[in-house]
């Protein structure tokens, strides 16, 4: 999830069209159903979605199903997963529809299809590791998708949910100018992608790891910019995630950085306040949006591993809980 994409997606008006354009696939004539095959996750409609797996070293003690953020792809976990692997945790990450190596690049698939992809993917990974605890880890937009999936009547078959700065900046917390311009642009210029200018990177900084940001900028699988109708779908997803997070029955760990410049503090604290009293939160005062790619990422990466392997223990980082919406924290 990238705040610069939201801000720049509010520009450019012409023509007239529906709010969102979603692609629909015709399953191949010979189709054996969902599966994991090499570098691909074959979804229920035959769609080929990019797949990256980091196997556990030695005995597999835990499994992560990882969901990336807006305009990103499975590589979002390339710094964290090798660390988890050495601790006996396998990571399975797929490129969500419209992103990375997957079909419909740049198009918004819609929450129903994205949720069903997650549900099927978890089931396939579960079949590979039937006796091992499975955790869904969602970063930013991936966190929003996961929240919406776990809040349904048929949640993914996972033991717990870890949210890394989840995207909860929905309509109700967007400034009026944002809401108005996005509403107009999604109707009048839905298919005109807007690429953020270079100067915006100095205003909205997703991480303090400049080397990683530069590598992301050179990566052809990344998307820079977004269609207004995709942004409209994203904000709607964030609104649903923010509203429904309290309906998630699985244990939640909500992690957020005090220097996050992508998902604002107010809606993040409000969403964290709606989770169950038994759920856990962690506040990283020096953390930016990309918590597992920041310069201080080791703290968060170790905490996630601890949450998976030792869910009732204190976090190794000693990170405090996220403050209440009315409280202050530095």
Q: What pLDDT is recorded for position 24?
A: 62
Mean pLDDT over 222-240 rounds to: 93
For the chain, give me the number of helices (H) and strands (E)?
9, 9
168 or 14: which leads in pLDDT: 168
d(CA 12, CA 101): 28
Q: 32: which residues sit within 8 A by CB, 6+ positions away?
A: none
The two structure tokens encoding residue 284: 């990283």
- CB 282 within 8 Å of CB 316: no
Structure token digits, residue 299: 């703290």
Q: How many residues does the chain have?
A: 330
- Beta strands of 152-299 (E only): which ranges? 160-164, 252-257, 280-284
All domains in the chain, ordered by first residue = 3-309 (3.40.50.1820)
Supply the pLDDT for residue 268.
98
- Residue 241, both tokens: 């995630």
Nearest to 44 by CA among 95, 114, 104: 114
Mean pLDDT for the chain overall = 89
- Integer Cα distance of 304 and 298 in angstroms: 10
Q: Are strands 89-94 and 48-54 parallel, antiparallel or unpaired?
A: antiparallel
What is the pLDDT averaged over residues 261-279? 97
Q: The whole model's pTM is what? A: 0.89
Q: CA 287, CA 62: separation in Å to the nearest integer?
A: 25
Contact 135, 164 (CB under 8 A): no
Q: Is 45 strand, coil or helix?
A: coil
pLDDT of residue 28: 63
pLDDT at 7: 43
pLDDT tens for residues 182-216? 778 777 767 777 666 655 555 789 999 999 999 99
pLDDT digits (tens, 9 = 90+) for 56-66: 999 999 999 99
The two three-digit tokens of residue 300, written as one number: 């968060």
């Amino acid at each position: 999830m990238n705040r610069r994409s939201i801000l720049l997606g509010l520009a450019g008006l012409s023509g007239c069209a529906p709010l969102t354009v979603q692609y629909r696939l015709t399953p191949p004539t010979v189709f054996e159903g969902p599966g994991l095959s090499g570098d691909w996750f074959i979804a229920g409609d035959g769609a080929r979605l990019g797949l990256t797996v980091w196997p556990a070293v030695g005995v597999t003690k835990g499994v992560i199903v990882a969901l990336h953020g807006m305009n990103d792809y499975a590589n979002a976990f390339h710094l964290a997963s090798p660390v988890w692997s050495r601790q006996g945790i396998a990571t399975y990450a797929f490129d969500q529809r419209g992103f990375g190596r997957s079909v419909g690049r740049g198009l918004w698939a819609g929450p129903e299809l994205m949720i069903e992809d997650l549900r099927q993917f978890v089931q396939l990974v579960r079949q590979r590791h039937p006796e091992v605890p499975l955790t869904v880890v969602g970063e930013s937009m991936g966190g929003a998708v996961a929240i919406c999936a776990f809040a349904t009547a048929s949640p993914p078959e996972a033991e717990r949910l870890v949210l890394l700065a989840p995207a909860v900046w929905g309509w109700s917390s967007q400034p009026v100018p944002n809401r108005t311009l996005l509403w107009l642009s999604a109707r009048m210029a839905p298919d005109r992608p807007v690429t953020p200018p270079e100067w915006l990177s100095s205003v909205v900084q997703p991480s303090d790891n400049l080397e990683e940001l530069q590598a992301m900028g050179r990566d052809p699988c990344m998307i820079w910019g977004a269609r207004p109708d995709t942004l409209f779908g994203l904000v709607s997803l964030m609104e649903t995630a923010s509203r429904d997070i309290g309906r998630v029955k699985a244990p939640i760990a909500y992690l957020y950085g005090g220097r996050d410049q992508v998902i604002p503090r107010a809606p993040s604290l409000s969403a964290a306040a709606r989770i169950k009293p038994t759920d856990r939160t962690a506040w990283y005062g020096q953390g930016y949006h990309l918590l597992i790619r920041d310069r201080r990422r080791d703290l968060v990466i170790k905490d996630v591993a601890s949450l998976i392997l030792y869910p009732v223990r204190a976090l190794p980082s000693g990170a405090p809980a996220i403050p209440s919406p009315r409280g202050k924290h530095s």
